């Protein structure tokens, strides 16, 4: 459920993780790294990959990245991290055999990509090819949002099996079944995540279904940055996220568990 803005401003920071009982799921752009003018311009802190590796070991391997980016892009930005990762909103997976492929089969996207590329060039927008879809970014020209939405909606009408995904200053077509909440539900059913409390951090509308699912399933949803959210917890941005992650990697869980209640779960 979306919260009132006054509640959002007072949302608490997430509690400390319990390494024996929590599973951590992390979005990439806007959560671990700051949003950049173009997708390939993000700046990855040198300490990020070693931090994720250390925290994964502390959690018994129960840490996964969950991104709308392709897996090979994630691997390129984090060459020192080899743990589980979910890409393309769940259409790709690494280290999670039950999610491999996300149930999405191969598809010839050449014509779709050509159409997106031509529109982006004509409008002065950014086209981002995806292995299972395509995206248009209008961050550099916010006034083009309505035209971009109309274009993507028109294309979608002739592309069965794809769905419209809104994001920060972007519209994307992705496979219908590839969503971050569906990927999260599948991940928590498999080792080493099974039986652990899901803790999900994300910043975008693409993350909200996963945030809401984690919170409604006995876990924790954490909103990163501004904006309405179903999350009960919030961190201001990637810098605060990294500080929180560092604390989880270095510090023991409190005696009463990681949450607000005596059994480590959140109250209420």
Are the C-beta atoms of residues 203 and 67 closer than 8 Å to each other? Answer: no
- Across the range 144-168, mean pLDDT stands at 94
Same domain, yes or no, for 66 and 169?
Answer: no
Rounded to two decimals, the pTM is 0.85
pLDDT at 107: 74
Same domain, yes or no, for 243 and 203?
Answer: yes
Same domain, yes or no, for 13 and 74?
Answer: yes
Q: Which domain holds residue 33?
A: 5-102+179-250
Q: Evaluate whether residue 257 is within a structural domain.
A: no
Same domain, yes or no, for 190 and 171?
Answer: no
Beta-carbon contacts of residue 158 (< 8 Å; ≥ 6 apart):
none
Backbone dihedral region for residue 178 (phi beyond 0: left; psi -120 to 50: alpha; all else: beta): beta
Same domain, yes or no, for 194 and 71?
Answer: yes
Same domain, yes or no, for 168 and 183?
Answer: no
pLDDT at 11: 73
Q: Evaluate whether residue 266 is within a structural domain.
A: no
Q: Evaluate whether residue 268 is within a structural domain.
A: no
Find the CATH number of the domain harbouring 10. Answer: 3.40.50.1000
pLDDT at 254: 42
pLDDT tens figures, 92-150: 999 987 775 555 555 789 999 999 999 999 999 999 999 899 999 999 999 999 999 99
Same domain, yes or no, for 163 and 196?
Answer: no
Same domain, yes or no, for 67 and 194?
Answer: yes
Q: Evaluate whether residue 209 is within a structural domain.
A: yes
pLDDT at 104: 58
Q: Looking at 121, 149, 175, which one is the last position of a domain?
A: 175
d(CA 213, CA 148): 30
Same domain, yes or no, for 160 and 35?
Answer: no
CB burial class (10 A; 0-12, 13-18, 19+) of residue 163?
Answer: middle
pLDDT tens figures, 184-222: 999 999 999 999 999 999 999 999 999 999 999 999 999
pLDDT at 244: 96
pLDDT tens figures, 237-248: 999 999 999 999
pLDDT at 101: 53
Domain count for the chain? 2
170 has a pLDDT exceeding 50: yes
Q: Evaluate whether residue 215 is within a structural domain.
A: yes
72 is catalytic: no
Same domain, yes or no, for 22 and 86?
Answer: yes
Same domain, yes or no, for 145 and 203?
Answer: no
Find the CATH number of the domain harbouring 121. Answer: 3.30.70
Same domain, yes or no, for 37 and 149?
Answer: no
pLDDT band at 262 (very low <50, low <70, confident <90, very high): very low
d(CA 195, CA 188): 7
Identify the active-site residue in 18, 22, 27, 204.
Answer: 27
d(CA 256, CA 190): 27
pLDDT tens figures, 14-56: 999 999 999 999 999 999 999 998 989 999 999 999 999 999 9
Beta-carbon contacts of residue 195 (< 8 Å; ≥ 6 apart):
none
């Amino acid at each position: 459920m979306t919260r009132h803005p006054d509640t959002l401003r007072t949302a608490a920071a997430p509690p400390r993780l319990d390494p024996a009982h929590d599973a951590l799921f992390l979005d990439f752009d806007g959560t671990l790294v700051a949003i950049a003018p173009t997708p390939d311009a993000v700046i990855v802190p040198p300490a990020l990959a070693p931090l994720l590796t250390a925290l994964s070991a502390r959690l018994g391997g129960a840490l996964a990245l969950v991104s709308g980016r392709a897996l090979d892009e994630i691997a390129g930005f984090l060459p020192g991290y080899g743990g589980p990762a979910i890409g393309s909103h769940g259409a790709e997976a690494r280290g999670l055999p039950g999610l491999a492929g996300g149930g999405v089969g191969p598809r010839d996207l050449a014509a779709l990509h050509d159409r997106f590329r031509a529109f982006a060039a004509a409008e002065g927008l950014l086209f981002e090819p995806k292995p299972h879809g395509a995206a248009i970014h209008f961050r550099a020209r916010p006034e083009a949002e309505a035209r971009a939405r109309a274009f993507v909606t028109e294309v979608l009408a002739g592309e069965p099996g794809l769905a419209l995904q809104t994001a920060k200053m972007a519209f994307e077509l992705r496979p219908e079944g590839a969503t971050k909440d569906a990927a999260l539900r599948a991940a928590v059913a498999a080792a080493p995540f099974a039986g652990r409390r899901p803790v999900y951090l994300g910043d975008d509308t693409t993350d909200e279904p996963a945030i809401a699912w984690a919170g409604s399933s006995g876990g924790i949803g954490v909103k990163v940055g501004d904006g309405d959210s179903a999350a009960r917890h919030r961190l201001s941005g990637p810098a605060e996220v990294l500080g929180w992650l560092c604390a989880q990697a270095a510090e023991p869980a409190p005696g009463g568990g990681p949450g607000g209640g005596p059994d480590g779960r959140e109250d209420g």
